[in-house]
Every structure is written in structure tokens, then in C-alpha cells.
Structure 1
Amino acid sequence: MIKAFASGNGQLDAIAETGSADALRNAVWIDLRNATPDEIGLVQQATGLNVPSEADVSEIETSSRLATRGGALYLSMSLIQFADTGARGVSAGFVLSPDRLITVRFAPSRIFETYAEHLPRGSASSEGSAHIFVGLMEAIVDRQADVLEQVRADLDTISQQIFAMGTNLKGGRKAEDATLRRTLGQLGHIGHLISHVRETQVGAARIVPYVEARAADWLPKALTPRLVTLRQDIASVSDFDTHLNDKLQFLLDATLGFINIAQNNVMKVMAIASVVGIPPVLIAGIYGMNFKNIPEYDWAWGYAWGWGLIILTTLIPLGVFRWRKWI
């Protein structure tokens, strides 16, 4: 799928017909999403620029993600795609030249779609490929900040749930176990999301200074303040991501701590039951040997004596445990 925008009438207008190379030659921004080989060939014919493949933009080496060929910058980074199954990382590529910007995507992205929808509403014609690229990077960083803000709210909610278990035992152990299981799942999901945000921020932090250095000859001076602000935003979002990751680890440790407490409570009950049960079992075993010379067999109250002894030896350990405040 090809979307293209060209300068005209004081703003950037969407090109309705993108099926010919002549129409794409005037495009300032060409957005490719799951492009077919024919569409890729058409764009390369119209622009004279190479369109990277999905394998190219998925490379993790810095030399593969940041490159300069033929006066154009070939950049790639990881983005987040939200689906019903959760967040996943998808790669996106940018080919930036003085005349045009080509973006290459292999999955839908709300960032690109929203930015493209707002472009024709009043962008000045003097804003060329570099302006669009910086605007996209700003939108990406802003989106990551929104995600982290939601993560912070989710972590605050989970924090209240976890530490409320220390004072509120309504529902019993089964409800507590279910809450702990659910909390571990939520923390795992948030950790997965934070890692994707971190990967995106690392990519953005590499791209911005690279573009400033390699495109210094033709990069509009008007973009310098925006690039400075963009670097600051990336740094602040990265710091906030680190803070949330630390909070996530703290909540994970707290959850595991409550799980250990629950397990220790179970083991304590089993230990108490074992200790309390030893004397009665011993007494029952002695009187169950059926030797003829056991005098208690001939007592009128021998049966009651046996039961009394069993009950007494059961209560004595329980009393000691209670006195020592172990139970």
C-alpha cells in the first residue's frame, strides 16, 4: 500500500493516484505499508532511492540501522504495535533525503496513520522531508510517553492491590492466591511493554544525533530548536522508563514476597500439625500393641484414660505454641 504527499497550494496534499512513477516523483513523503514488489519497484523508479526490505530494517546492529548511501540516510528503529494478544515489536524504516522522505512499514501504526491524517490540514509547503521526519519522530516519542503514563497508572493500581493484602484478608487464601497469580501476569505484561518502549527509545536516541551530524549541510536551520527539544524529550522519557522499570522490579519482589509468606504459612501449619500429632500417635501406638501385661487394659476407666492422655498430649504442644506466640 502506497500513500504519498506532495507540496502544493501552501500545504501538503495527499496524492490521490499513486499508481504511476510520474505522480510519485513530486511526492515529498511516500509511506509504504506492506508494499508489494511492484509497488517497491515503482517507488524506486520514481525516486532513485533503494527501499529497504523487512529483513533490512529488522537488523539490530547500529551500522545496519544507521547508514548513508548516495546522499540519503537509511534509518530503522523498532516500534510498538498493540493487538488483541498484547504489544509486540515491529520494525520501521526511514529513507531521508533533501527532497523526500520514504517510510517503510510492515504493520499498521496509529502514529503514522494519525500523522498522515493531520498533514493536509495546514502544513506549510516550505516544510519538506526533514520537517516531516522530525514531526514523525516527535509523534513517536510522544506516543511512547503516553504509553508510559498509562503504565504508571497501572503500576499504581497494582501497588495498592498488593499492599492491601497485608491488611485485608477478605476472601481467604484462595482469593489471595488468585490475586497473586493475576498480579504476576499483569506485571509480566507491563514488563514486556516497558521493554518495547525502551527499545524504541534507544532507536530514537541513536537516530536523532545521527541525522543532525550527517544531514548538517542540508538540514533546515529552523529545525535545530525542535531537534534539541526532541533530544531532551527522548532523554526524559528514557529516564522515566528506567524509573518505571525499577518500580516494576520492586512490585515484582513484593509479590514474590507475599507468595513466600503464603507458602511459609502453609509449611507452618503442616509443621504444627506434625508436632502436635506426634504424642497422640505415640500413645495410641503404645496402647495398640495388645500385650497381655499392659495393666491399663484391666482398668474400669482404661479407655477414658487413654483418650484423656491423647487429648492432654495434644493440648500441651498447642498451649506452648500459643504461649510463645508462634500461632
Structure 2
Amino acid sequence: MITAYMLRNKVLDVVQLTTQDVLPPDTIWLDAYKPDDEEREWLSSLFLEEVPEEEELDEIEASARFYWDTDGLHILSLFPQRIGGETRGVNMSFTLRNNLLISFREEDIGIVRLLRHYMRHDRVEIEDAMDILLELMDLKVEYLSDLIEDGYTTLEETSELVLSDEQIHEMLQELMEQEETNSQIRLALHDTRRALRFLRRTVRQQLLSEQKKTIDEVLHDIESLLPHTQFLFDKINFQLEVAMGFTNLQQNKVIKIFSVAAVVFLPPTLIASVYGMNFDIMPELHWQFGYLVSIGMMLASAFGTYFFFRKKGWL
């Protein structure tokens, strides 16, 4: 699906294009969502070189994510995508040249839908293609900030369950999911910072003063958010260590009970073993009260060992 955004008299028009259409004049953003082969062939007429392929969206090398060629400025940016409790990064490719932004994506990214909503309701000021790219970056950082706030809330909830036997497994699963989410947040922040620095360094002369200000503000927001991600990592690791320590402590208590039980029954076992010997000459073998005395000795030795442990504070 290809969507064209035209800026006419400071008013944005949105049109769905087919492969039979031509590129409308005054188009400043061309968004390709899951383009098929026919749509890719149509888009290839806009490129001097190759149209970005789906597998290229997973490149992580800096030279592959940010570069300049005859088609213009290329940026491959990582966008967070939350599905249920899982957060993962989705790459989106941008090509910017001659006041035309061409984007490629293989998934429905929520930030793109949010920008469309803002554009339809005139909640953002768009004057050229660069403004659209910067607005996407700004919205992405705001969304990452919201995810960080959710992380703080989640860790406050898990901190109340860290010493709970009944919900320890759910808490550990929540911590592992939060650790993955925080990793994706940190990765997206670093990726956005690299993209904005590349923009500022590469097209500094073409940027308007307001656009330079926006880049600086977003970079400042990123720098202020990165320490929060490190704090979340530390807090997650602390809660994991406390949870594992508590689990080990509970297991040690169980092992301690078995150990004490074994020691308590050791003297009675010794007495029973002695009188279970099959020697011919045993003074108590034919004694009338031998059985009762041996049982009494077993009980006395067991209780004596138990009370000795209690007095020492080992139980």
C-alpha cells in the first residue's frame, strides 16, 4: 500500500496510490507499507539506484543505516513496537531528497498512525519533508519516554511481589519482559541519536533554524532519558538478585528441615540397629521389658536431640 501526502497551501492532502497512478505534484511524503512486487516496480521509477529490499531493513552497520548517495539521504531507523506485553524494534527506511520523503516499512507502526492522526487534525506544523522526518523522530522519543514511565510503574508493582512465594514465577517473567523492553528502549534511543546527529552533520546547510532547534531538543531529550534506562537496568537486576536470593533461602529452609529430621532420628536409628543385631549373646535379648526400654530410649534420644537443637537456636 502506497500513501501520498501532498502539501498544498499549507494544507495536507492524503491519497492512496495505485501502480496506475503517477506521483502527484506537491507530494512531500510517500509512505510504502508492505509494498508488493508491482508496487516496488512502480517505486523503482523514483530511484536512480535500487529500491530498499525487506532484508535490508535488518542491517545494523552504521554505513548501512545512514548514508548519502545519488538518490539522496538514507536513514534506517528503529521504531519500538509493543504487542501485548512484548516490546520489539521495527526498522523503517527513509529516503529524503528534493523535499520528498519516501519511507518503507513492513509492519504497521503505531507512531506513524499517530503522526497521521496529528496531521489530519492540524496538531503539527508541516512545511516540508524534513519536518515529517523530525516529527516522527520526536514522537518516537516521546513514546520511548512513556515506555520508561511504564517501566517504573511495573517495577514498583514487582517490588511488592519480590518476597512472595505464591507469585514469584509471575514476577520473574514480568522482570524478564521488562528487561527486554528496556533493552529495546535503549537501543532505539541510541539509534535515534545517531540518526539525528547524522542529519545535523550531513544537511546542516539545508536545515531551517526551527528544524535545527528541534533536532537539538530531541537530542537533549534522548540524553536525559538514557540515564533512566540504566537505572531501570540496575533496578531490574537488583530485583532479580533479591528474588533469586529469596528463592535460595526458601530452598535452604526446606533442606534444613530434612537435615534436622535426619539428625533427630539418627540416635533412635543407632539404638534400633544395635538391638537388631543377631548375636547369640545379648544380655537384653530375653529381658521381659527389653522392647519397652528400647522404644523409650529411642523416643528419649529423639526428643533430646530436638530440644538440644531448639536450645541452640538452630530451629
Q: TM-score, normalised by structure 2?
A: 0.93
Structure 2 partner of 1:156: 156
Which whole-Å CA distance do the structure 2 matches of 1:245 and 1:126 have between them? Answer: 37
**CA distances 1:131-180 after superposition (whole Å, capped 9, x unpaired):** 111000011111111111111101110001114x4xxxxxxxxxx1x422
Structure 2 partner of 1:173: none
Structure 1 partner of 2:278: 290
2:240 to 236, 252, 268: 252
Q: Does 1:222 pair with 2:210?
A: yes
Deviation (angstroms), 1:324: 1.3
Deviation (angstroms), 1:123: 6.7
Q: Which has the higher contact order (CA 8 A, sep 6+)?
A: 1
Q: Does 1:325 pair with 2:313?
A: yes
1:181 to 165, 169, 177: 169
Deviation (angstroms), 1:230: 0.2
Q: Is the 8 A contact 1:279 1:310 kept in 2?
A: yes
Q: Is the 8 A contact 1:21 1:42 kept in 2?
A: no
Deviation (angstroms), 1:308: 0.9
- Alignment of structure 1 residues 76-155 onto 2, 5 Å: 76-84=76-84, 86-122=86-122, 127-155=127-155
Q: Which has the higher helix share?
A: 1
Structure 2 partner of 1:273: 261
Alignment: residue pair count: 315
Q: Is the 8 A contact 2:85 2:177 kept in 1?
A: no
Amino acid of the residue matched to residue 222 of structure 1?
E
Q: Is the 8 A contact 1:138 1:230 kept in 2?
A: yes
Unaligned runs of 5+ in 2: none
Q: Is the 8 A contact 1:68 1:74 kept in 2?
A: yes
**CA distances 1:200-253 after superposition (whole Å, capped 9, x unpaired):** 111101000100110112122221221111001111122111111111111111
Structure 2 partner of 1:66: 66
Which whole-Å CA distance do the structure 1 matches of 2:125 and 2:291 have between them? Answer: 105
Deviation (angstroms), 1:288: 1.1
Q: Does 1:14 pair with 2:14?
A: yes
| Percent of aligned positions that are identical | 26
2:296 to 308, 313, 316: 308
Which whole-Å CA distance do the structure 2 matches of 1:306 and 1:229 have between them? Answer: 87
Structure 2 partner of 1:168: none
More displaced 10-residue stretch of structure 1: 66-75 or 294-303: 294-303
More displaced 10-residue stretch of structure 1: 55-64 or 75-84: 75-84
Q: Is the 8 A contact 1:91 1:105 kept in 2?
A: yes
Deviation (angstroms), 1:25: 4.9
**CA distances 1:27-73 after superposition (whole Å, capped 9, x unpaired):** 10111111112212223324657531222221111111110112621
Which whole-Å CA distance do the structure 1 matches of 2:169 and 2:84 have between them? Answer: 21
RMSD between aligned residues: 2.0
Which whole-Å CA distance do the structure 2 matches of 1:313 and 1:68 have between them? Answer: 87
More displaced 10-residue stretch of structure 1: 217-226 or 14-23: 14-23
**CA distances 1:251-295 after superposition (whole Å, capped 9, x unpaired):** 111111111101111211121122112111111111111333222
Q: Is the 8 A contact 2:48 2:70 kept in 1?
A: no
Unaligned runs of 5+ in 1: 166-175
Q: TM-score, normalised by structure 1?
A: 0.90
Q: Is the 8 A contact 1:79 1:196 kept in 2?
A: no
Aligned pair in 2 of structure 1 residues 117, 42: CA closer, same or farther (>3 Å)?
farther
Which whole-Å CA distance do the structure 2 matches of 1:126 and 1:117 have between them? Answer: 13
Which whole-Å CA distance do the structure 2 matches of 1:238 and 1:37 have between them? Answer: 40
Structure 2 partner of 1:207: 195
Which whole-Å CA distance do the structure 2 matches of 1:130 and 1:48 have between them? Answer: 21
Deviation (angstroms), 1:17: 4.0
Q: Is the 8 A contact 1:73 1:96 kept in 2?
A: yes
